[in-house]
Structures are given as structure tokens and as C-alpha cells.
Chain A
Amino acid sequence: MNEPVIKTNKLTKRFGGFIAADEITFTVDQGEIFGFLGANGAGKTTAMRMLCGLSIPSSGQATIAGFDVYKQTEQIKKNIGYMSQKFSLYEDLTILENIRFFGGIYGLSDRQLKTKSEELIDKLGLQNEAKKLVASLPLGWKQKLSFSVAILHEPKIVFLDEPTGGVDPVTRRQFWDLIYNAADNGVTIFVTTHYMDEAEYCNRISIMVDGKIKALDSPANLKASFGVGSMDEVFYELARGAKRSD
């Protein structure tokens, strides 16, 4: 088996007296779809930002694709894709311009940019919208576009922070098709979500409560060990003990 692509050991982030992420330890293997669950304010986004090199941990260790989260944040950034909770492509650029801009920043060649953007637009079925401003797209399409942009440079790992928030069920389904597609190509998916049906799509999931990881296993094993029939119940069992809320 290969070395895990994400490896953390007691990773902690404090904001003053508040411990947003408390001694998180886990590993994620290559090609895995890893679900990162937790109630609002449980510390999912904080943990993810540390793994992406956007935020320096307060203590603990972590390596992403073999790079250290303290010292090698820029190398990490070359190897990951990231899609934030808040839509963050440029609304005043067209779809094509956004694709070309981010591709260019990641250092794709002109030829790669051309073929990649054509491929991507075909895949998303956005031929008619390619030259429209992103601001005019419906949310579901925006989310699919940001995911595609996040994996444009063929990263080893892609981090998705609540990618399907506020999106209709049909589009969510399509979104997960994109995720499976990427995972089949060997991309490791690290995804946070609130939707328990989505949790079922993951290979393994971790559930965070009050900054700590309270459970980590495959959905089937978790259901078995809690003796319940659905992920909803597992989540409820764990999350109702939470003291923090947002």
C-alpha cells in the first residue's frame, strides 16, 4: 500500500482561548473519498484550512502529499485543489476566462489550457454559456464549475468545503458523479458535508464534535457499531452531545 496522502497527528488550532480543532489524528489514502462531517462550528473548515496550507496549525503535525503543513505550504498548494464554502471564482469574468486564469496561475501551458477548457466545457455541457459572465450562472452550475476548476491542474488531493450547500438534489447527484469521476482518476477527495445521504457515498467518514474527531470508519461499520440503520442516526447520536454551536 502506498504512503497515505494526508497524515495528521494531534493537529490543533487555537484562536486565543478557543480550540477550534483539538488534536485531530487521521490518515487518508490515495484515491479515497473521505467525508469530513460535523455540526456547524465543529471545526471542519478550520481543520481543512490547515490541511490546505491556508492556516498554520498551533500544534501537532501533518503532511499533505508528503509536504509539511508548517514549512512547505507552497509545495502543498501545487499538489492540491480547493473549493471553499463560499463561491470564489471571479463573477465578473466569463466561464472560459476563469478557467484560463486559474489554469494559467497553476502553470498550465497554452495548449493544455486550450484542450482542458474545451474538455471541461463539454463535460459540464456549458457550450452556450462559456462566454457569459459567471455572475449570471445558477448556483448549481457555479458549484460544478468551481469543482472543475479546482481539479483542472490535476492535483493529487482536492478539498471540498460543503460543495453542495444550497444546491437542488438533482444537481447534487450530478456533482457527486463529478466527484466519483475524479476519484476514479486517482484524485483523493476530502469533502465536508451536512447531508447524510452524501456521507453514504464516501469510502470513509470522520465525524467531528466540538473540535475533536469522535468517530472514523466506513459508513457501514459506523452504522453497525452504533447499532442503527442510517447515517442520520449515527450523526445524531454523536452530535447531540455537542456543547458548541454557531
Chain B
Amino acid sequence: MRTIRFLLQKEFRQIFRNRAILAMVIVMPVIQLLILPMAANYEVKNINIAIIDNDHSSYSQKLISKITSSGYFKLTGYNFSFKEAFRLIETDDADLILEIPRGFERNLVRENGQKIFIAVNAINGTKANLGGVYLTGIIKDFNGEVRLQLVPPAKFDRTLSIDIASSNWFNPFLDYHVFMVPGILAILVTMVGGFLAALNIVKEKEVGTIEQINVTPIKKHHFILGKLIPFWVLGNVVFTLGLIVAWLIYRIIPVGNIFLLYSFVSVYLLAVLGFGLLISTFCETQQQAMFIMFFFMMVFILMGGLFTSIDSMPDWAKAVSQFNPVSYLIEVMRMIILKGSGFKDILRQLGIIALFAVVFNGWAIFNYKKTS
């Protein structure tokens, strides 16, 4: 125990003397939590649309103004030929082309129907896809209005239709901040903890101080604990700062038990720090450790269920994400913060993360060699 006391004293002194670490731990999470949730928004706005109006009728004008006033579209071209409009897609000035054919109004009134043409620039997949869906929705809506006007109510064709009314639980207004903030916080905690741990032992190797440690009778698990505990404390500081930002800026207050949340994050931090320490026992330079950690972080984050839902991944990817600690944290954070899940609900995730913690730290202790 005495040894650990001396190790902790040393480690904390070094941390508090290193401004870069303090900045990483305090400033970075706050700034990122302020910026990222605003930007990382699934809602697509500002879809650039080019419209070719071959009809120039009052109905076509009505449709155009309906589209532009929806708030999702920005009219970037009002053209006379498809060729001209297509050039806008080629130069990336337009995401969608809507072509209103000649005789649009006439056919709508007389023949009770008219086809219109939409071309989508599929290079930006999400934007194009959602843009197409929004536009179809608007046109359908327009269609409904027109039919009401043109067709006398008596003759109204009552085609059977099922209307879906959905309500969103746990995030009633589909506020993306509510969805993103816990996830981004999860990633921040992972990044800060993982990188700090991965770089620390390697730094001692680079500077040469590890040699002076290795020649002492220090126990391996004492040394690893001496590294683990300070970063565990820092990880909890990052997490607490994140919760404060979430509360002050986004008004997100965990619905569930805050102690349960901290308990899970505490175990999770042991796992992710253990992973970082494990990497640092394999590397000789900070550069190596950085790149390896970066590789795993990319995989963990992109497959962690924050940006794309794990449920919609192919089976092999789902299998991989079973081994991704980040996916469990994101899941549990959302469960506790948004849904108010209790201890029993997160028991499975807690067990798996505890297992990760034991394996990574045990492996790190095993792999740290005082004698080569």
C-alpha cells in the first residue's frame, strides 16, 4: 500500500505540472461538448434544389413556394433545361433536380394526374436520400391540397388509407441533442482515458525512467495500479464536467440514478484504461502507441452505435461490436440518462465491461516485463 501511495503522489505531481494533460482533461471535453452536438445532427437542412419549371403556371408556382418555404430546401437554380440544371449537380451546387413538365397545371385539372421528375445527386448519400424523402412528402401533401380544391367533396374518392401517427418515447421531440450528447460524452471519456493511459508508460520507456523503476523491487501490479488510479480519477473528472455541460447547456438531466451511472462509468474506465495500458506495454515509442490507439479508437467509435445504429449493421459487424467497449457505454449512457433504466436493466452490460476490465488489466500486468 505504501508503494502505491508513493506512486500516486508522483503520478499526480507529474499530471498537475503538465499543462497539456490538464488542457486535454478539462478544456477539450467542454469545447467538444459545446460544438459537436450542434454540428452532429442527423436532420438534413439546406438541401440545394434546382427546379426546372416548364409550365410557369400558378400551380407550379404554388408547388415551388411550398418547397422553398418548407425550410429544408434552398433554391440554388431556376433553370430552363435539364442540361443546365444537371450542370449544377456536376459542380455540386445542387443536390436535387425537380422537373415540372409543360402542361402540369392543365393535366392536373383536366386529367386528374401528372407525373413529375426528380433527379437525386447520390454522392452525399444521406443528404440525397433524406432530400428525396422530404421532397416526396411535400409533393404528396401538395397533391392532397390540390385534390381537395379540384374535386367536389361529394365525388371525393375515398380510397382507403392507413395513416400512421407515431409518438417518440424518451425523446418526445426527437431532439438530436438529447440523443447525441450522452453518446459524445461516452466517446470523450473513452478518448481521454484511453490515450492518456496508452501514452503514459511508453513515455517512461522513451525518457528512460522506466529502467530506474524496473531495477527497483517494485511489484508489477503496484506499478500498473499506480498508473491506473490517477487516470481513473481524471476520467471521472472528464465525465463529471460533461454531465455539467449537458445539464447547463442542453438541459439534459439523467432520468435514472446518478450513482448507477457513475458506477458503470467507473467500471468502464477501468476497462478502457486497462486497454490503453495494455497497448503501452506492447509499444516502445509514443508514436507507435498513438497510431495503434488511434486505429482502435476509430473502429470503436465508428462501430459504437453513435453515428450509425448497431441494429442496422450486418451480422458480422454486430458480432464485432460485441467486443467493442464503447458500444456498451453508449448504450448504457442512453439507457440511464434518457430512459431511467435501473440496475437490473444494465446488469448484462455491467458484467461484460467488468470482464473487459479484468482481462485488459490482467493482460497489461502480465505483459509488463521488468526483466527482458
Contacts and interface: CB of A to CB of B under 8 A. Distances in A.
Interface of A: 52-56, 73-75, 77-78, 80, 82, 84, 86-93, 97, 100-102, 104-107, 133
A86 B7 CA distance: 22
B217 interface: yes
Contacts of B344: none
Contacts of B7: 105
Interface in B4-31: 5-7, 9-10, 13-14, 17-18
B292 to A, nearest CB: 25
B207 A88 contact: yes
Give 3 closest A-B pairs by Cβ, nearest first. Answer: A104-B6, A82-B215, A88-B212
Q: How large is the interface on B (under 10, 10 to 19, 20 to 34, 35 or more residues)?
A: 20 to 34
Contact of B6 (A77, A87, A105): A105
A93 B212 contact: no
Given A77-B217, A82-B215, A87-B208, A93 B13 contact: yes
B214 interface: yes
A161 B136 CA distance: 78
A80 B208 CA distance: 19
A88 B207 CA distance: 7
B117 to A, nearest CB: 68
A166 B73 CA distance: 71
B149 to A, nearest CB: 78
Nearest to B371: A73
A5 B209 CA distance: 27
Interface in B288-337: none
Nearest to B9: A101
Nearest to B18: A92
Contact of B207 (A52, A91, A93, A106): A91
B208 A90 contact: no
Contacts of B217: 74-75, 77-78, 106-107
A101 B215 contact: no
Given A54-B371, A77-B216, A105-B218, A97 B211 contact: no
A84 B211 contact: yes
Contacts of A133: 17
B3 interface: yes
Contact of A80 (B17, B215, B370, B371): B215
A28 B3 CA distance: 32
A89 B209 contact: yes
Contacts of A93: 10, 13-14
Nearest to B219: A74
Contacts of B215: 52-54, 77, 80, 82
B2 interface: yes
B216 A56 contact: no
Contacts of B371: 53-56, 73
Contacts of B2: 104, 107
A87 B212 CA distance: 9
Nearest to A146: B212
Contact of A105 (B3, B209, B372): B3
Max chain B Cβ within 10 angstroms of own Cβ: one of A53, A56, A89, A105? A105
B6 A100 contact: yes
Nearest to B10: A101
A77 B223 CA distance: 15
Given A93-B10, A93-B13, A88 B3 contact: no
Nearest to B14: A92
A86 B208 contact: yes
Contacts of B3: 104-105, 107
A139 to B, nearest CB: 14
Contact of A97 (B13, B207, B209, B370): B13
Contacts of B209: 88-90
A16 to B, nearest CB: 14
